[in-house]
Amino acid sequence: MEAQIVYISLAAMFGIFMAWGIGANDVANAMATSVGSKALTIKQAILVAAVFEFLGAVLAGGEVTSTIRKGIVDAELLTGSPELMIYGMLAALLAAGTWLLVASRNGWPVSTTHSIVGAIVGFAAVGIGVDAVQWGQVGTIVMSWVVSPLTAGIIAFLIYMSVQRLILRQDDPLVKAKRYVPMYIFLASFTITLVTILKGLKHVGLTLSLVDSYMLATIIAVIISLFGSVIVRRITPDPKQDKKEHFHTVERVFAVLMVVTACGMAFAHGSNDVANAIGPLAAVVSIAKSGTIAAKSALPIWVLALGGGGIVIGLATYGRHVIATVGKKITQLTPSRGFAAELAAATTIVIASGTGMPVSTTHTLVGAVLGVGMARGIEAIDLRVVARIMVSWVITIPAGAFLSILFFFIFRAVLPLVGA
């Protein structure tokens, strides 16, 4: 009994620490786009992020959490010694959290997702045995790290091309913007709602038929886009500003759209990244409670809520400053460009969440921004930094793995003494 409490509280502590880190650093990437383009103020961004990160974590975070929890390590091999899984997951959490702290202190671009996956693979392969890793699954995850930025890039490219064609290159961009922006709002809310309903609701105990799901998503998206079109219609041109900058009012129309995609982005981020913090926690909780490695045990909703809560706290304590700093640096992302990037990234990430793929939110968003750039939308992109980001995960995985192996051996030596 004693030992279980120690394990669960340690895991909860590390999990919250990790979630805090995600909220403090990672969320900024999801939200800064909207702040940088002035579609949202910082306060609004924090509110949107808090609500939608939490919703995303609780409603749609289940699939990725279960991948992190039981998709990487082959639990079958550990039925005889479930405590090894506990030590390993604790080690992985602490390793990923430490590595993220070190990396962000030094300004290295690293991904939370890559750190935790590297850490879990590390302790399993070295601490338990090479066979303990489900290499097929790990291969799929690594593939998804290549596929997700690419997909987001292609989607963003197509969306921004359509925006240029339908609106920005027309003689009357404002009229066209008011006509088409509600449609983009529909598209954004439909995709995200649909994936959530299809993949998320069963974790909350709701199951709908496929037809019902499509119906519900359509209804919700229509309501949101009607609401959006009312707001869009109310926007009146500011002739003085428009003379200085022809797209001034047009961008204000896009800013409405960007509020929607910002919600989507926060939701997507919550749904995918919460797993990095609570996947290992969920594993520890289920083993400590049951004493066995039960592959089928359900994910307690309080664990998801804890992760969501941790993210919100990280956001409120530290993340707001990061959002402000990053927002100031990405002013090139005007609402018309930013929404294209956000919509593409959010869609890709939510789909990844639905299929249980732990992808890097930031890398996906970077891919989306590059997609807008490919459509000749962005004034200047620094390719050196893009290259640095690409190589960063090659370094992150071994680093996470190494730390995790270290902590694993420490825990294996020390923790049994505590429990005894």
Partner 1 sequence: MANMLAGIFGSSPVVPLEKHIGIAYDCAKQLRGFFAAVVKGDWDKASKARAEIETLEHKADDLKKKIRQQLPKSLFMPVPREDLLELLLVQDKIANRTKDVSGIVMGRKLQIPVEISDQFLEFVDRNIDAAKQARKSVRELNELFTAGFRGAEVELAESMIEKLDQIETDTDDLQAELRGSLFAIEKTIDPIDAVFMYRVIELTGEIADMAERVGRRLELLLSH
Q: Which residues contact partner 1 by CB under 8 A?
A: 25, 28-29, 32-33, 104-109, 164, 168-171, 173, 245-247, 322, 325-326, 329-334, 336-337, 362-363, 365-366, 369-370, 373, 375-386, 388-389
Which residue blocks in 61-134 are alpha helix, DSSP H?
62-70, 82-106, 112-122
Least Å distance, CB 288 to partner 1, is 35
Counting every residue written for the chain, the total comes to 420
Select 266 or 370, whichever has its Cβ closest to partner 1. 370
Minimum Å distance from CB 390 to partner 1? Answer: 11
Min. distance of Cβ 327 from partner 1 in angstroms? 9
Closer CB to partner 1, 334 or 353, in the complex: 334
Angle subtended at Cα 67 by Cα 65 and Cα 72, rounded to the nearest 5 degrees: 130
Residue nearer to partner 1 on the CB measure, 306 or 378: 378
* Rama region for 207: left / alpha / beta (φ>0; ψ in -120 to 50; rest): beta
String of DSSP letters for 343-362: HHHHHHHHHHHHTT----HH
Shortest CB 366 distance to partner 1, Å: 6
* Pairwise CA distance, residues 274 & 265, whole Å: 14
Distance CA 123, CA 142 (A): 17
Residue 288 has a CB neighbour count (10 Å cut-off) of 21
* CB nearer to partner 1: pick between 234 and 240: 240
**Beta carbon nearer to partner 1, 169 or 202:** 169
Least distance between partner 1 and beta carbon 14 (Å): 21
For the CB of residue 165, give the shortest distance to partner 1 in the complex, in Å.
8
Q: Which is nearer to partner 1, 100 or 403 (CB)?
A: 100
CB neighbour class for 222 (10 Å; exposed up to 12, middle 13-18, buried from 19) = middle
Nearest Cα residue to 351 out of 271, 413, 276, 406: 271
- Closer of 164 and 355 to partner 1 (Cβ): 164
Whole-angstrom Cα distance, residue 32 to residue 60? 22
Q: Which is nearer to partner 1, 106 or 236 (CB)?
A: 106
- Beta carbon of residue 55, minimum distance to partner 1 (angstroms, whole number): 23
Minimum distance of partner 1 from residue 416's CB (angstroms): 38
Smaller CB separation from partner 1, 105 or 296: 105
CA-to-CA dists, residue 230 to 178, 189, 220, 233, angstroms: 10, 16, 16, 5
Q: What are phi and psi for residue 247, nearest 5 degrees?
A: -95, 10
CB 340 within 8 A of CB 377: yes
What are the structure tokens assigned to 42, written together? 């910082």
Please report how close the Cβ of residue 162 comes to partner 1 at its closest, in angstroms: 12
Alpha-carbon gap, residue 383 to 360, rounded angstroms: 19
